[in-house]
Structure 1
Amino acid sequence: MKNVLLVDDHSIVRQGLKNLIALEADLTVTGEAGSGLEAIKMVRANQYDIVVLDISMPDKNGVDTLHDLKHVAPSLPVLILSGYGESQYALNLIRNGCKGYLSKDADSDEIIKAIRTIANGKRYISAELAELMSEQLSHPSEKQLHETLSDREFQVFFKLSSGLSATEIGEELNISVKTVSTYRSRILEKMSLKTNADLTYYAIKNGLIT
């Protein structure tokens, strides 16, 4: 029996997933969290075989939560189940440590297949993600600008584009304002942008924030 931790700020989504997983003999939901901070606390205190994680959450978004989980429980696999499509986040988050990425629009059978595959120690690549990866290999110069960012750069980019100041980002990530400024400079250079407003516009245009 594989133990599943569901992390989503919408209780109706968690309940729907819980009902779906309850139909499976080899999977069981043994934890639910409504925020990233709650998820980190639960992982510190309990044993899980997989985390099913949303991106858009209060207090600590899924990008930050994934980053923290890599340090708290490096061997714990994560499936991102998000309202955002694969083309927006999947490649970045796969590169940054998650074992699979699915849109919440995916069929229930595929969601269960992904959870089971990842809980058993394998990576799950959806048809959409496989196509994205194939396109990137075939045309590496055509990857989106945010896909060129490192793990921490993507984290800082996400926060800058959401309107957080360097001081706020430094406090959230436990790094100095100077370090945030260094990351900001790298991000702007890699993405050929000039201001935080440009980052926000890019993120909205590409559906990374709403």
Structure 2
Amino acid sequence: MEKREKAEVLVVDDHSLVLEGICRVVNRMPEAVVADAVTSGIKAAELIAKRDYDIYILDVSIPDLSGFELIARIRELNEQALIIVNTMHEEVWIANRLAQSGVNAVILKASASSELAAAIRSVLQGKSYTCPRFASICRMLARHSAELLPHDLPTRRELEVLQGIAKGLSTREIAAQLSISENTVETFRKRLISKFDARNSVDMVLKAVSRGWLKLE
């Protein structure tokens, strides 16, 4: 296949203003051009099934189809695809999942637009890229994970319960939200208190925040 003069980019973000901002950054670059830009994960899935792009820039929080699902679909079609995640999420469990997803670059939406341009140039050169803030989160994750045995790490479901507790939801409300029983919620609560070596639920939430497992809004 003949090499394109400019790298063709698919941009996916459910916020129109963010989408427009990303497109402006990309189209100002001599190395790249936006081929398609959509606010729907389902529409993005339809596009990637029909054609290849040189670079995929997407968020992980897309209402109609998860960004992680899109990453998986892209990788199924092209293991060498260049994927850049542009997200607002700084939670440790999101960072951990991104670190394991095999994406080529991660930048946070709070970063300067120059970070996006730097990420694009890096992946085109065959290098990975993370913005300084995300790199810091990953270092913190590695440090705190090293302090815990593998069986002590909170599971995804436990983290969902932890989020509910931190928001002040009752056991009944958490159970309804997660479609599990109230007894199961209490079991997860006890496990979390043990894993964080906490005195009670309040102490558990404070320790989860201090270790980066939980971000309070």
The residue aligned with 2:86 is: 81
Q: Is the 8 A contact 2:41 2:65 kept in 1?
A: yes
Which structure has the greater CA radius of gyration? 2
Measure the CA separation in 1 of the matches of 2:214 and 2:57: 24
Q: TM-score, normalised by structure 2?
A: 0.64
2:49 corresponds, among 25, 28, 44, to: 44
- Runs of 5+ in structure 1 lacking a partner? 167-183
The residue aligned with 2:69 is: 64
Q: TM-score, normalised by structure 1?
A: 0.66
- Runs of 5+ in structure 2 lacking a partner? 1-5, 165-176, 194-200
Identity of aligned residues (%): 24
**How far did residue 129 of structure 1 move?**
3.0
Classify 1:140/1:29 alpha carbon distance in 2 versus 1 (closer, same or farther; 3 Å).
same
Measure the CA separation in 2 of the matches of 1:116 and 1:82: 18
Query: What whole-Å deviation, never above 9, does each CA across 1:155-196 have from its counterpart, x for those lacking one?
Result: 9x77xx894659xxxxxxxxxxxxxxxxx9xxx69x748xxx
The residue aligned with 2:116 is: 111
**Aligned length in residues:** 178
Query: What whole-Å deviation, never above 9, does each CA across 1:98-151 have from its counterpart, x for those lacking one?
Result: 2221111111111111122123332102222333333444453357x9xx57xx
Greater CA drift, 55-64 or 5-14: 55-64
CA RMSD, Structure 1 to Structure 2 (Å): 3.9
1:2 is the counterpart of 2:7: yes
Measure the CA separation in 1 of the matches of 2:29 and 2:9: 12
**How far did residue 66 of structure 1 move?**
2.2
The letter for the 2-side match of 1:206 is L
1:25 is the counterpart of 2:30: yes
Moved over 3 A (4+): 132-143, 161-166
Q: Is the 8 A contact 1:85 1:102 kept in 2?
A: no
